[in-house]
Structure 1
Amino acid sequence: MTGLGWFAALIVGALAGWIAEKIMKRDHGLLLNIFMGIVGAMLFNAILGFIFGSSLGGWIGQLFAGVVGACILIAAINAFRSRS
């Protein structure tokens, strides 16, 4: 996560994963929430970087990116699971 240390990335990732979990009405554990939040933030920042040439910074920006990215990941996993 851009601009955040490891400890802050864990906290923001866990919070972002938890918020995305509630938005998408799923039930995951803490570790999966942290993973989804961190990977989701990296994914959404990469998308923003590709489209606009910049990414979101700071705690609030990374939290927003993590929530949106984690929702994208959860939707992709749900679509993959429904196919098989």
Structure 2
Amino acid sequence: MHLIWTILIGFVAGILAKMILPGNNPGGFIMTVLLGIGGSIAATYLGHFIGWYHAGESAGFVGAVVGAIVLLGIYHLATKK
């Protein structure tokens, strides 16, 4: 059940990131889910590094959205012509 919940939160976080940061975004359902899940994982590790989260805690929904926005911004910079 935890995996399904993570995918659902990742999907919603990916959609919000695409809405907040418009442009030439990678498309499709799978890319949106992966963007959100990757953002959540990135936010979790950054939060552990900074000291915001303790061991075993993960980033919340806001952290997942912010992480997805950062990943999408990096994608825009990498594919800039």
What TM-score do you get using the length of structure 2 for normalisation? 0.82
Q: Which residue of 2 aligns with 1:37?
A: 36
Question: For residues 63 and 16 of structure 1, what CA distance do their matches in structure 2 show?
Answer: 7
How far off is 1:78 after superposition?
0.7
TM-score (norm 1): 0.79
**Does structure 2 retain, via aligned residues, the 8 Å contact 1:17–1:67?**
yes
- Partners of 1:64 and 1:53 in 2: CA distance: 13
Structure 2: 5+ residue stretches without partners: none
Runs of 4+ in 1 over 2 A off after TM superposition: none
**1 CA distance for matches of 2:10 and 2:49?**
22
Equivalence for 1:7: 4
How many residue pairs get aligned? The number is: 77
Aligned partner of 2:13 in structure 1 is 16
CA RMSD in angstroms comes to 2.0
Gaps of 5+ in 1: none
